[in-house]
Amino acid sequence: MKILITGSTGQLGIELLNQLERIKKKESLTIINPSKEDLDLTNSIKCEKYIEDINPDILINLAAFTAVDNAEIESESARQINALALRSFANVLKKNGGHIIQISTDYVFNGEENKPYQTFHKRNPLGVYGKTKSEGESFLEQILENTNQFTIIRTSWLVSPWRKNFVKTILKKLKEGKENESLKVVSDQIGCITTAKSLSNLIILIIERKIKNICLPSHLHWSSNGSASWYEIAVKIKEISNSINLFASRIDIKPIESFEYKSLCPRPKFSVLDTSLTTKTFGIKNDFWINDLEILLKEIKDINNSAKALN
């Protein structure tokens, strides 16, 4: 089976490639992970031709324009990568066959529901990032309607030991800040973290079922269990880091409201995802977010220790 992965150098791509190595021989997988130069998502014609030439059995689209504030300024680039590239993928897959696993986002919702979003809830994004991701979903739904050729996984607040994410940003600020400084973190946006490790596990479960031609829901949600604000997560990062001796920090973390945080992109105030369909479909359980966060921080500590040992 031939699997094409876009965006393989991002935090989810790094984790997914690591996990795919473990099942690659057992499942006879050929993994293709093109560079941005090989697969130009900003050029629809070249994009379609590349997919036609490779003709993958499964296309896992991890590539995205994820800088939500920059998307407000660079809206055309965001739309090309997050939406029009999906149209190109869907057109080729409809003609040649194959399945696409698309990673989407909680930002397709406006955050006014005040209860966990289920897969069937109406999309109503606030900013350009969410709007382009929503449009990308629409292209898959319209072009591949009734084909069982697409799986959209909406996820939220992705974190990992790799690349740039909220956990690593907070760790950096806690380590580098001075004792008399305070760290201000938004407290009125509620959601939940998703670890790249758990999301990669889900993607592999989907691959294994597609190999067996098992029909799956077209829309899934995935994150850790529970809900928290960015502020609550930052406080836990500090608390856990101190307890596992990752580092000690006495910097005070203070809650602020969204209007106090300078941002070009409006963000949903409540974007918790209902993951019950996913857990039921695959017979899996998502861990509580604090447990996932502690596992992640221990992994970061181990990686740091390994790097020091090598040096």
Q: pLDDT band at residue 198, thresholds of 50, 70 and 90?
A: very high
| Measured distance CA(117)–CA(155) in Å, rounded | 11
16 within domain boundaries? yes
Domain CATH number, residue 202: 3.40.50.720
43-53 mean pLDDT? 93
Q: pLDDT band at residue 311, thresholds of 50, 70 and 90?
A: very low
102 within domain boundaries? yes
Q: Can you give the pTM of this predicted structure?
A: 0.94
Q: What are phi and psi of 289, to 5 degrees?
A: -60, -35
135 within domain boundaries? yes
Give the domain range for residue 199: 2-163+194-225+271-286
Whether residue 306 has pLDDT greater than 80:
no
126 within domain boundaries? yes
First vs last Cα of the chain: how many Å apart? Answer: 40
Count of the separate structural domains present in the chain: 1
Bridge-based pairing of strands 150-155 and 99-105 is parallel
Helix, strand, or coil (residue 88): helix
Whether residue 288 has pLDDT greater than 50:
yes
295 within domain boundaries? no
pLDDT score for 248: 83
pLDDT score for 167: 97
Q: What percent of the chain has pLDDT over 90?
A: 84
264 within domain boundaries? no
136 within domain boundaries? yes
pLDDT score for 294: 97
Each residue of 50-99: pLDDT tens digit?
999 999 999 999 999 999 999 999 999 999 999 999 999 999 999 999 99
Partner residues linked to 58 by β-bridges: 3, 99
Each residue of 130-180: pLDDT tens digit?
999 999 999 999 999 999 999 999 999 999 999 999 999 999 999 887 777
123-127 mean pLDDT? 95
pLDDT score for 24: 77
Whether residue 37 has pLDDT greater than 50:
yes
Partner residues linked to 253 by β-bridges: 183
* Burial call 175-195: b when 16+ CB within 10 Å, e when fewer: eeeeeeeebebbbbbbbbbbb
pLDDT score for 180: 75
Cα–Cα nearest to 190, from 279, 112, 254, 286: 112
40 within domain boundaries? yes
19-42 mean pLDDT? 88
Mean pLDDT score across all residues of the chain: 93
18-38 mean pLDDT? 87
Contacts of 279 (CB under 8 A, 6+ apart): 285, 286
